[in-house]
Chains A and B, each alone.
Chain A
Amino acid sequence: MTLLKERIGDVQLRVMDNTNWRKPVYETNGLNLWYGASHALKNINLSINEKEVTAIIGPSGCGKSTYLKTLNRMVEMVPDVNISGNITFKGNNILGKEMPVEMLRSKVGMVFQKPNPFPKSIYENIAFGPKIHGIKNKATLDMIVEDSLKKAALWDEVKDRLHKSAYGLSGGQQQRLCIARCLAIDPEVILMDEPTSALDPVSTHKVEELISSIKNDVTIAIVTHNMQQASRISDRTAFFLNGEIIEVNSTATIFNNPNDRLTNDYINGRFG
């Protein structure tokens, strides 16, 4: 009986939003954010679904990076930020005091625009997350390092130089190292803030391949300037403009048959 109810619930969900088949990990309701007096996010409603790649696109200054940083509360490091509304992560409110940010971030990794490995060895970069979360056993750390680097398709390139500086890697390798560093804490979500904007096309391609290969295990929200990238790698796309969401839809719909004229203009390069 309960099973039936769940099924009915599921079907109803599908009827309401045909892109929203999967279970949402993040649900954002009525989110507003101000930097001082400037209203950067206006009434954002968006869910990020489990084991999907959600792309967030839009012109510079539209609030897409701000939204991403709100999801792991990094945005609060900017002085004079005010937030109202609701964001839940797996049903738990994250904007209140109930959940320490450290707790949230141990489940939500972040990859930044510029590769930012620590000035430590490759090994220590990957082991950093597990170590701060209390793993001390050398054999366990070795396993995590190998496993994470393999998932990030970096193992073969670095296995002979694990204890050399991460700064000896190329920019693209460094970014994949940063993704591997996230994977090492076994996150449920990885937030990526324009992860390929500082990389050349070959490195970009490798990062995109990596994203496709891990998306079955981890939910990804990616902010990108590159619309081709969004269409290549994402399942759903949200189009932001001036702090508002103009349209959220399956990536295929957004790029082939968008509902909103503004979306159509943006993806066809008429502005932005």
Chain B
Amino acid sequence: MEYISTNRVARKMSARLLLNNLSKFIFLLATFFGIFVLGVLIYRVVSQGIGWLNVDFLTGRLSTQADRAGIMGAILGTFWLMMVVVPVTMFLGIGTAIYLELYAKKGRLQSFIQTNISNLAGVPSIVYGILGLTVFVRTLDFGNIVLAGGLTMSLLILPIVIVVSQEALRSVPQHLSEASYGMGATKWQTIQKVILPVALPGILTGAILSLSRAIGETAPLVVIGIPALLLPFPGSILDKFTVLPMQIYYWTLDSSLMAEYANLAAATIIVLLVALLILNSTAIIIRNKFQKRY
């Protein structure tokens, strides 16, 4: 009794091979779609904005006259915003992840918190804006200063930082912590000297990618009322501010009034893209550096 008929296999063979080649082509197409769109975006932005990009533009103050306008204020605003977001999310995010992953007893409360954090990661950013407006700007009466904006942004990316850090901590092999406990190390010594060094590349990669999201985010800042007026440069986290994506947003809105504003927006997008590129490259470099060490 023959279960597999040679004839039947031969008859089906060409169709199978065709499907085999076709599948590769389909996945290639999917990949190229993204690259194509990115290419179009970069081409349009660069061709429109590159002529406006010069030292005066980077270091100048805002102005209603397009040829005199600069984005130094927005660059400084983004810088000070990060001065709030980086320490707050690093400390709260990694701290929460360590607690949930290494200290909390697995149980109902822990899984309740876990579910909520995962859900928070999916909440639209504008909702965080409303929260920031209510809590930081009004209730705590900070006004629309860097601190209020930074805390709002921190809330927005915290869930992502927590989830990514937990993932990184979870992937540290158990046998390493066992070795440490077996030597008489305390839990904190084990976390500090064994678990964190191994998890750090993963944590940092996630944190830096979340920061690049915070740098590009606009909606929450619109809600907490970041002005688009001519502003003095922010000099600390207690000053009023604007950031690069806000600048892009207002210039794009106003391009109906003055066509050159669109070019200014394009030039600002280039600056923002370069900043993001630098951040993401840093993430990759950090990851590779730590991974290569051992």
Q: Beta-carbon contacts of A156-171 to B below 8 Å, as 1s and 0s? A: 0000000001010000
Q: Is the CB of B175 within 8 A of A105?
A: no
Task: List CB contacts (< 8 Å) of A148-182 with chain B.
Answer: 165, 167, 178, 181-182
* Alpha-carbon distance A119/B193, docked complex (angstroms): 11
* Alpha-carbon distance A178/B175, docked complex (angstroms): 12
Task: List CB contacts (< 8 Å) of B198-218 with chain A.
Answer: 198
Q: Is the CB of A109 within 8 A of B175?
A: no
Q: Beta-carbon contacts of A79-106 to B below 8 Å, as 1s and 0s? A: 1000000000000000000000111111
Q: Which residues does A use to contact B, with CB under 8 Å? A: 72, 74, 77, 79, 101-106, 109-110, 112, 114, 116-120, 128-129, 131-133, 165, 167, 178, 181-182, 185
Q: How far is the CB of B114 from chain A (nearest CB, A)?
A: 17
* Alpha-carbon distance A249/B106, docked complex (angstroms): 42
Q: Is the CB of B182 within 8 A of A110?
A: yes
Q: Contact partner of A167 among B173, B198, B294, CB < 8 A?
A: B294
Q: Is the CB of B184 within 8 A of A129?
A: yes
18 A-B pairs, CB-CB below 8 angstroms?
A77-B178, A101-B184, A102-B184, A105-B181, A106-B184, A109-B182, A112-B179, A118-B176, A118-B180, A118-B194, A119-B176, A132-B180, A132-B184, A132-B193, A133-B184, A165-B293, A182-B182, A182-B183
* Alpha-carbon distance A74/B178, docked complex (angstroms): 8
Q: Is the CB of B178 within 8 A of A116?
A: yes
Q: How far is the CB of A222 from chain B (nearest CB, A)?
A: 15
Which residues of chain A come closer than 8 Å to B173, judged between CB atoms?
116
* Alpha-carbon distance A103/B185, docked complex (angstroms): 9
Q: Is the CB of B183 within 8 A of A112?
A: no
Interface of B is mostly: helix
Answer whether A105 and B183 are a contact pair too, CB < 8 Å, given A132-B189, A167-B294.
yes
- Contacts A116-B176, A118-B180, A119-B198 known; 13 new A-B pairs at CB < 8 A: A74-B181, A77-B181, A79-B106, A112-B179, A116-B173, A116-B179, A117-B179, A119-B294, A120-B294, A133-B184, A167-B294, A182-B182, A182-B183
* Alpha-carbon distance A165/B294, docked complex (angstroms): 6
Q: How far is the CB of B55 from chain A (nearest CB, A)?
A: 46
Answer whether A74 and B182 are a contact pair too, CB < 8 Å, given A79-B106, A118-B194, A165-B294.
yes
Which residues of chain A come closer than 8 Å to B63, judged between CB atoms?
none
* Alpha-carbon distance A104/B179, docked complex (angstroms): 15
Answer whether A116 and B175 are a contact pair too, CB < 8 Å, given A165-B294, A167-B294.
yes
Q: Is the CB of A105 within 8 A of B182?
A: yes
Q: Is the CB of B183 within 8 A of A181?
A: yes
Q: Does B54 contact A (CB under 8 A)?
A: no
* Alpha-carbon distance A104/B181, docked complex (angstroms): 11
Q: Is the CB of A129 within 8 A of B294?
A: no
Residue on B nearest A191 in the bound complex, by CB = B182
Residue on A nearest B198 in the bound complex, by CB = A119
Q: How far is the CB of B45 from chain A (nearest CB, A)?
A: 43
Q: Does B47 contact A (CB under 8 A)?
A: no
